[in-house]
Structure 1
Amino acid sequence: MVSLLRTLQDHLDDVNCCALSNSMLATCSIDKTIRVYTTNDFCELNFSPLSEHTYGVHCCCFSSCGRYLASCSTDATTIVWDMQTGKVEVKFEYPGRTPVRICSFSPDSSYLLSGATDGTVTLWDVPTKSLQRTRAATEGTLVASAFSPCGQMFVTGSTLGDLRVWNLAMNQLCAEKDAHDLGVNCCNFSPQTDSDGHTLQFRLASCGQDSQLKIWIISQHASAGCMMQLLHTLTGQSSPVLSCCFSSDGQRLISGSVDKTVAVYDANQAVLLHTLTQHRRYVTTCAFAPVGPLFVTGSMDKTVNIWMMGEGEALPALSTKRPRTTQRGRKLPGHSRLPVSDWTEEDVSAWLSEEGMEALVSTFKANNIDGRELVSLTKETLATELHVDSVGLRGKVLRKIEELKQVLEGSDVPDEFVCPITREVMKDPVMAADGYSYEREAIESWLKTKNPCSPMTNLPLQTTLLTPNRTLRMAINRWRDKR
């Protein structure tokens, strides 16, 4: 039996990854944020959301002790967060400023692995906050990684369909070049290991664009070296499988798919036990708790579902109506129900105070700044007319205005007007060879990486030629004029 305990609906865009520690749940999204909850009652922590990344966040993972959380993004950074304070412990800049798709801690938390769109993999030394080593791992984009339970090996998977096993010196131990036709999407080790005194064996799950979930045996022998052998092929889902994870005891295996389902398997017998259909769009991520029967799934429907395996009393369900929030996650006051352009001077003053800019209240009141004036402010206006001398304060005001407009008015933006990379309304849309339109600056930066692939499909681009999408630009401008 599987029970749905709760549905979290705080993200403003696709949920890309979920991670569980003994006491916390972390989720990350295309909306550039990481949200952190306590697993006692699934309330969001006071320092959440974490908003340091400037582009969508692809992956997040906890250290084994739960003290640290790592996240990685298209912005080419991998950030380690202190989960006691919510502050940045260290920000690793990826070599070559390449978009980072995956990250994973070693079991002892000494190392942090990052993988990028150019096919390189990088090992960071966490205690010294330094780069340990980096190397080219594949010709495709790295989209999957996992450390073995012993911590002496790790596996990478790419859009070319290969699974490769490496040691910490980044020497390749073995490889399965055609593990998944059309590409690997995720891989995960079972926590359980077997040993006969001479050979150490691990079970690895992987899933891919071929709509299959596979279980492999990876054997490490002192003299014979490393070998990889296919044990089971599971076909319980009808579309590409995007995520997979073993339970803490290795007895269960879950996977999420483009067909919007979550499949639950008996990992030993390779038998499908349950098919869960509560998500409305692609299921992009799944994760088990380090101990116990709790697991979570995330989706492109912007929700995170929390499940309990086996008998158990479900917790009260959250309301399906999510309150409007600021980028800091706080509820906006009553005036937030109005369009910003309709705010009074008192509404603007209340907003300034809430955002920690009380020092500007008297200045804004003296100059009769209402909502319409607020959204039209520029650096020049702030400096010359309102005499805000602090460069930092001027920058903060403008950033908060942009955040305000995105949160309060973002739901009215047609999806086709939003760049898939930046998740912001496009100013100069161009069409790439994959048939999708992007903000010119964002896709040009993306294409500078080695062997660029489509940000939407992960497939290689036949050409890097970009075509101005004038029709879309005109439509966006008309939409802006009507606001």
Structure 2
Amino acid sequence: MTSLICTLQDHRDDVNWCAFSAKLLATCSGDKTLRVYDASDFSEMPFSPLSGQGYSVHCCCFSACGQFLASCSTDATTVVWSMVTGEIEAILEHPGRSPVRICALSPDSFHLVSGASDGTLALWDFPSKQLRRTRAVNDTTMVACSFSPCSQVFMTGSTYGDLRLWDLNMNQLHAEKNAHDLGVTCCTFAASILNGQTVQFRLASCGQDSLLKIWVFLSVAACKMQLLHTLTGQCAPVLCCAYSSDGQLLENAVLLYTLNKHDRYVTACAFSPTAPLIATGSMDKTVNIWRLEDGCSGHGGENRRTSAGRSKLLVSDWSEEDVSEWLAEEGLRELVDTFRANNIDGTELLSLTKEVLASELHIESVGLRSKLLRKVEELKSDSLMKEPVIAADGYSYEREAIESWINTKNRSSPMTNLPLLTTLLTPNHTLKMAIGRWRTSH
């Protein structure tokens, strides 16, 4: 069963793309703006809308931990936005100054790919925002791109109708010609684990031929695609497809429900990675938020964070409930109600000062304030990772801790309790360098 829980009506032109992070929903439009919403209640963020691109914004995507949002536009740029301030972090000008139709960030957030109307691809080093390599496919427009879960290869689709697999050196590993007659419109990777060891990558693609296709790679190293299914339930061009976070459900694939509240073509869809929600965008200028119920979300039950998961998570990513649990464990239970009333989450916990505790939270006891601040300092020191890695759920963990968790907890995410798409772990070099700088300054 599905239910429409809200309709966002802020854009003044066609909605072109929707993207979820763990905490936010981003949408972009032909009205030259992006809008960012809190994924818990879909209230618009204070810094939204994001304005800075000169023409229609075609696509947007979040970095792994949701700290950054990338968007691309007809103005031939890909813009990187801070999701803390809403300010522009970088403007990446596409080689040849052709309109950029698609952008995609690797799951480890090390690389960004942008594809343009002249058939060119640009591979950027995301931490430094520097251009690494370019390639071109003649006589076509790049309109689709997706990284594999291992971040080592990516697939592109074009108006020519082909799907092409590339490595990070921009070597073409495989070309599936005429994958969709009249052109590809979208492609997206998912992953599943077979026999406890072998990782099988799956790709969904859709096109102007009104078809949605499911492909499989038994190994990306083998560079061979095999067509598993051709889904024919659509009676018009299929403009977008998306996997659920566990890879079990595919929007616009197996017909479970028909979501028909839009007045014009549906151009975008996205699953939330942490809740049984779908966002759909349309040429009617609206975004609908749907809730999947009765176990049909593929999330395998209620989506709760475990205490063990909290202990492996960056403190800045703690929820208000995580903070309350930590206070109780540290013998500060008398502060729980105050912290809950003031919506103190992990980020705000780390920024607390004596002045804030006294004047804003009205904690009168000097001894209690001092004890809390000592505990927070211990928390900052203890939470620093020695070897941070990014797991398939998009969160960073200490390698030893997440490996132990995976080996004993049936490969579920400590954050969400959902199955991990793959057990591959990617070193988080950016976080490791930041930790090193913090240690030096303290």
Alignment TM class, shorter chain as reference: 0.5 to 0.7
Which of 283, 286, 298 does residue 281 from structure 2 map onto? 298
Segments of structure 1 that go 5 or more residues without pairing to the other structure are 256-264, 266-270, 313-483
Shift of 1:221: 6.0
Label 1:221 to 1:40 Cα distance change in 2 as closer, same or farther (>3 A): closer
For 2:384, the equivalent position in structure 1 comes to none
Distance across 2 between alignment mates of 1:196 and 1:230: 23
Q: Deviations over 1:365-414 (max 9, x none)?
A: xxxxxxxxxxxxxxxxxxxxxxxxxxxxxxxxxxxxxxxxxxxxxxxxxx
CA contact (8 A) 1:193 1:203 kept: no
| Aligned-partner residue type, residue 83 of structure 1 | M
Distance across 2 between alignment mates of 1:154 and 1:140: 18
TM-score between both structures, scaled by the size of structure 2: 0.65
Shift of 1:216: 0.4
| Aligned-partner residue type, residue 202 of structure 2 | R
| Aligned-partner residue type, residue 168 of structure 2 | L
Quick check: 1:234 aligned with 2:234?
A: no
Distance across 2 between alignment mates of 1:278 and 1:221: 39
Distance across 1 between alignment mates of 2:274 and 2:225: 28
1:134-149 equivalences under 5 Å are 134-149=134-149
Distance across 2 between alignment mates of 1:15 and 1:191: 28
| Aligned-partner residue type, residue 274 of structure 1 | Y
Distance across 2 between alignment mates of 1:221 and 1:72: 28
Q: Deviations over 1:328-362 (max 9, x none)?
A: xxxxxxxxxxxxxxxxxxxxxxxxxxxxxxxxxxx
1:179-328 equivalences under 5 Å are 179-194=179-194, 200-220=199-219, 222=221, 225-255=222-252, 265=253, 271-311=254-294
CA contact (8 A) 2:211 2:230 kept: yes
The DSSP-based 3-state class of the residue aligned with 1:96 is helix
Label 1:194 to 1:113 Cα distance change in 2 as closer, same or farther (>3 A): farther
Distance across 1 between alignment mates of 2:293 and 2:191: 20
Shift of 1:190: 1.3
Distance across 1 between alignment mates of 2:195 and 2:92: 36
| Aligned-partner residue type, residue 232 of structure 1 | H
TM-score between both structures, scaled by the size of structure 1: 0.60
Q: Deviations over 1:296-348 (max 9, x none)?
A: 00000000000111149xxxxxxxxxxxxxxxxxxxxxxxxxxxxxxxxxxxx
Distance across 2 between alignment mates of 1:193 and 1:180: 28
For 1:159, the equivalent position in structure 2 comes to 159
Label 1:297 to 1:106 Cα distance change in 2 as closer, same or farther (>3 A): same
Shift of 1:218: 1.9
CA contact (8 A) 2:208 2:237 kept: yes
Say which one has the larger Rg.
1
1:323-402 equivalences under 5 Å are none
Report the RMSD for the aligned CA atoms in angstroms.
1.5
Quick check: 1:66 aligned with 2:43?
A: no
For 1:43, the equivalent position in structure 2 comes to 43
CA contact (8 A) 2:15 2:286 kept: yes
Distance across 2 between alignment mates of 1:49 and 1:29: 11
For 2:128, the equivalent position in structure 1 comes to 128
The DSSP-based 3-state class of the residue aligned with 2:96 is helix
Segments of structure 2 that go 5 or more residues without pairing to the other structure are 296-442
Q: Which runs of 4+ in 1 moved over 4 A?
A: 193-197
For 2:29, the equivalent position in structure 1 comes to 29
Label 1:94 to 1:297 Cα distance change in 2 as closer, same or farther (>3 A): same
CA contact (8 A) 1:55 1:74 kept: yes
CA contact (8 A) 2:35 2:49 kept: yes
Quick check: 1:17 aligned with 2:17?
A: yes
Distance across 1 between alignment mates of 2:274 and 2:8: 21
Shift of 1:148: 0.3
The DSSP-based 3-state class of the residue aligned with 1:115 is strand
| Aligned-partner residue type, residue 19 of structure 1 | A
Distance across 1 between alignment mates of 2:66 and 2:251: 22
For 2:346, the equivalent position in structure 1 comes to none
Distance across 1 between alignment mates of 2:293 and 2:138: 40
For 1:175, the equivalent position in structure 2 comes to 175
CA contact (8 A) 2:192 2:199 kept: no
The DSSP-based 3-state class of the residue aligned with 1:11 is coil
Distance across 1 between alignment mates of 2:275 and 2:224: 31
Shift of 1:8: 0.3
CA contact (8 A) 1:63 1:105 kept: yes
For 1:7, the equivalent position in structure 2 comes to 7
CA contact (8 A) 1:57 1:72 kept: yes
Distance across 1 between alignment mates of 2:293 and 2:247: 15
The DSSP-based 3-state class of the residue aligned with 1:12 is coil
Shift of 1:163: 0.4
Q: Deviations over 1:216-270 (max 9, x none)?
A: 0023265xx2100100011111000000000001111113xxxxxxxxx4xxxxx
Alignment size in residue pairs: 295
1:469-480 equivalences under 5 Å are none
CA contact (8 A) 1:161 1:180 kept: yes
For 1:101, the equivalent position in structure 2 comes to 101
Distance across 2 between alignment mates of 1:69 and 1:229: 33
Label 1:154 to 1:240 Cα distance change in 2 as closer, same or farther (>3 A): same
Q: Deviations over 1:253-300 (max 9, x none)?
A: 113xxxxxxxxx4xxxxx421111111000000001122311100000
| Aligned-partner residue type, residue 88 of structure 1 | I
Shift of 1:138: 4.7
| Aligned-partner residue type, residue 208 of structure 1 | G
